[in-house]
């Protein structure tokens, strides 16, 4: 990677995690590069091309502008369209080392966003997102990319914005100075654009220059960002589990694709959901001397089972209890996907371990239900002490 690609990749890795961010992925059966950065998480695919172009000024603005746009934007657009065509023939991400990684989403379910990062502009030449002939391409400079990926720092929030922007472009002709100003409009209108279209016809909509600075300097925004701080506990757990995998610290073998299934569900939670989940998670950790397990039901529909046991309990017993608790909860909720997280009770000792479990049981047979109920009764799991307001069960 060159420095420009590294800049873009590092931001992707920070916001979208290492497990789903790939620098310089390869084309199928080739040593040639597909694109500069590829992000694949769930059905979302970010196809990213990065160009840093410095133009020696000739004194003729139009000539310099055309030259810069041709090298910085047109070249990226061409790369992205070519990569899009090739990606349609691939079933797995091929890393820069030539290894198969995460499976690509089915072509019929894939939500692909083409992104051109054009650096070296120094705000001299205009940027334009649009359809250059084979589908919409989003064009960012380094300032807009830095602000947007730091602000919309989950794959859910980022792709929600991209989808809303694409819908906007399809319905109106939008004119704005910087992408960050468009983002400020979106955030200040409850993560919506909601711009009117008169008689079904496109009109011109102008976004005022400089509203990002006004928006981000406002005390309400600053307070909001402070209130989001607890949500990053969710990110830290995901990062720990990813780092431990690549560092070879797992005590039980697990395939990368198996790990992806579990952590992807956690990563697809938006920042707002992560806040609610983290608040309950942190509250649970404070009470592990009194509460052994808690269940969180996310607004996304995914159910999370938390378990904290004494340090003297063997890991295999803890894993068995976690799995049984996940199965019990499958009979209690209408979600067929359950994620379990287990660790030690907090008692002042240093260090901790994490066990994970995942269930996907669309249909429960009578035989399975009987076995689950037998285990629940035998170990007295999840007595009906339910706090409905906080959406969790307490034992």
Tens of pLDDT, residues 20-65? 999 999 998 888 999 999 999 999 999 999 999 988 888 899 999 9
* Backbone φ and ψ of 153, nearest 5°: -95, 35
Is residue 374 a part of any domain in this protein? yes
Is residue 148 a part of any domain in this protein? no
Is residue 379 a part of any domain in this protein? yes
Q: Kindly state the tokens that stand for 48.
A: 């990213």
Is residue 293 a part of any domain in this protein? yes
246 and 387 in a common domain: yes
Last residue within a domain, chosen from 176, 200, 227: 227
Which residue in the block uniquely carries the two structure tokens 């019990």? Answer: 328
Q: What is the reported pLDDT for 380? A: 82
Is residue 316 a part of any domain in this protein? yes
Is the confidence at residue 13, as pLDDT, over 90? yes
Q: What is the reported pLDDT for 391? A: 43
Q: What is the reported pLDDT for 368? A: 92
193 and 239 in a common domain: no
More confident residue, 209 or 161: 161
234 and 126 in a common domain: no
Q: What is the tally of structural domains in the chain?
A: 3
297 and 220 in a common domain: no
Domain that holds residue 255: 230-393
Tell me how far apart the alpha carbons of residues 245 and 289 are, in angstroms, rounded to a whole number: 29
Is residue 146 a part of any domain in this protein? no
Q: Is 302 helix (H, G, I), strand (E, B) or coil?
A: coil
Q: What is the reported pLDDT for 195? A: 66
221 and 239 in a common domain: no
134 and 3 in a common domain: yes
- 8 Å CB contact between 76 and 65: no
Sheet bearing 293-297, strands edge to edge: 293-297, 303-309, 337-344, 355-360
- Among 253, 261, 232, 342, which residue's Cα sits nearest to residue 19? 261
- 8 Å CB contact between 319 and 223: no
Is the confidence at residue 384, as pLDDT, over 80? no
Q: What is the reported pLDDT for 101? A: 87
The single-letter DSSP state of residue 26 is: B
323 and 293 in a common domain: yes
295 and 384 in a common domain: yes
Q: How confident is the model at residue 203 (pLDDT cuts 50, 70, 90)?
A: low
Last residue within a domain, chosen from 205, 227, 249: 227
Q: How confident is the model at residue 395 (pLDDT cuts 50, 70, 90)?
A: very low
327 and 276 in a common domain: yes
Last residue within a domain, chosen from 140, 167, 189: 140
326 and 215 in a common domain: no
Q: What is the mean pLDDT of residues 67-86?
A: 95
Tell me how far apart the alpha carbons of residues 104 and 36 are, in angstroms, rounded to a whole number: 17
Is residue 147 a part of any domain in this protein? no
336 and 238 in a common domain: yes
Say which residues have a Cβ less than 8 Å from residue 22's Cβ, sequence separation at least 6. 37, 38, 39, 40, 93, 95, 96, 101
217 and 235 in a common domain: no
């Amino acid at each position: 990677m060159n420095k420009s690609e590294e800049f873009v990749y590092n931001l992707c890795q920070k916001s979208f995690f290492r497990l789903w961010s790939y620098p310089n992925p390869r084309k199928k059966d080739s040593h040639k590069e597909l694109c500069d950065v590829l992000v694949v998480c769930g059905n979302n695919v970010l196809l990213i091309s990065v160009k840093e172009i410095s133009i020696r000024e000739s004194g003729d603005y139009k000539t310099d502008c055309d030259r810069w746009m041709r090298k910085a934007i047109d070249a990226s657009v061409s790369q992205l369209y070519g990569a899009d065509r090739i990606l349609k023939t691939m079933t797995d991400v091929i890393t820069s080392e030539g290894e198969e990684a995460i499976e690509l989403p089915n072509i019929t379910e894939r939500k692909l966003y083409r992104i051109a990062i054009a650096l070296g502009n120094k705000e001299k030449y205009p940027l334009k997102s649009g359809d250059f002939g084979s589908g919409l391409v989003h064009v960012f400079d380094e300032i807009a990319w830095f602000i947007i990926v730091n602000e919309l720092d989950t794959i859910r929030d980022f792709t929600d914005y991209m989808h809303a922007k694409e819908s906007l472009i399809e319905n109106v002709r939008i004119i704005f100075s910087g992408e960050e100003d468009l983002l400020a409009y979106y955030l200040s209108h409850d993560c919506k654009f909601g711009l009117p279209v008169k008689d079904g016809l496109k009109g011109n909509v102008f976004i005022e220059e400089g509203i990002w600075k006004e928006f981000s300097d406002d005390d309400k925004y600053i307070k909001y960002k402070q209130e989001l701080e607890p949500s990053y506990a969710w990110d830290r757990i995901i990062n720990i589990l990813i780092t431990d995998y690549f560092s070879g610290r797992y005590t039980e073998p697990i395939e990368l694709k198996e790990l992806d299934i579990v952590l992807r569900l956690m990563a697809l939670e938006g920042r707002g959901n992560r806040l609610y989940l983290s608040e309950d998670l942190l509250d649970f950790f404070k009470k592990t001397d009194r509460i052994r397990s808690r269940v969180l039901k996310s607004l996304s529909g995914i159910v999370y089972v938390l378990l904290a046991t004494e340090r003297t309990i063997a890991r295999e017993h803890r894993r068995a209890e976690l799995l049984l608790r996940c199965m019990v909860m499958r009979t209690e909720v209408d979600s067929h996907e359950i994620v379990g997280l287990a660790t030690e009770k907090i008692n002042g000792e240093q260090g901790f371990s994490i066990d994970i479990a995942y269930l996907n049981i669309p249909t429960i047979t009578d035989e399975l239900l009987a076995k689950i109920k037998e285990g629940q009764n035998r170990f007295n799991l999840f007595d009906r002490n339910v706090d409905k307001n906080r959406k969790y069960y307490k034992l």
